[in-house]
A and B are shown apart, each in its own frame.
Chain A
């Protein structure tokens, strides 16, 4: 489908780039922030920054769900594993550093840690091995949280519990606006988070912060279009919320998913790696589901962890303050094969995306 519909058409890309360039004198310097690891992948993989004129810059904000899980919550997962609970998680969570060790290191030490593709795989495993206690490490933004909700509400097996570390994107976007020295001129909002939450949660950005905000898809033309739409708004001196991705994002989002999330979770404050504590930015299981809450069931609770190792600049990369190649360890002490920080671990981490696409980037 994508090929027929010209989502990657080079001529169209050139046309949009020319349009962006023609607006730049009027728009002035424009710094655009996206908050999605997949947007960073599209931008880097297809070399989109090379098409942008001087003065139009796109930076990566906290868009990697695995990267922002604080060390304390990795520590909780490690504690569960060390207590003999089978910990199931998505593949890129495995190597994320905790305060002492990652889940992979816990596994190497004999703990039973298993990679799953979907939370339903964890449910199936727990049913197949009813004599063992299982926990699913639920990491992800609003795109992933509904699937955890489906299973938590779907009468899961009694030997399964959930270590919920879901985070919400709009509070992190709001935080970036509070960082005075970052000086963002526009947001590219994440398409697949928006497929769930719809447009409403972004309304405050143009209204309160005068921030052009465009929800965008993940093909190169989608991202270029969203950059053009933001530059255009800036050149006209307006701030609007626009949807570049209507083929997937409906104004109301996915009401079924939102209802299930609301039934399963309450919104609470949460810690973000490299950022700190953000109000109303995390999900926890509702009281009615307490018997499935891994923290309560197995009595694990880590208040503080060691988020950033000495020399690692993940905390600055996560909020877009520096680019990966401004970290002295990038591709030297810290590589995709031997990552030091969380941003180099996950496929959605900015450092890993840059490391894997370095030839395209330069």
Chain B
């Protein structure tokens, strides 16, 4: 969803960091994307190439660290792995699971020159 807006957000974070930390070119970007964040990684890569064209991040390598989905099962009172936002608890099979992790979208670090 909305990968273009997300990519513009990434570029803004990069440009802010460039002003604060005095670098002028980015050669690689590490993102942490949760499996439950609703981000289509291939669409994100496509948008990243388009949005960064002509910027300090043009041609930068995009490394995506996938973070597994975690939920709290209200029936088992336990943290469980989740494959989908509305996924079932792998222990009890019920759907009363609240997402507690794996919905992040973060810029983790940059390789700069």
Q: Do A and B truly interact?
A: no
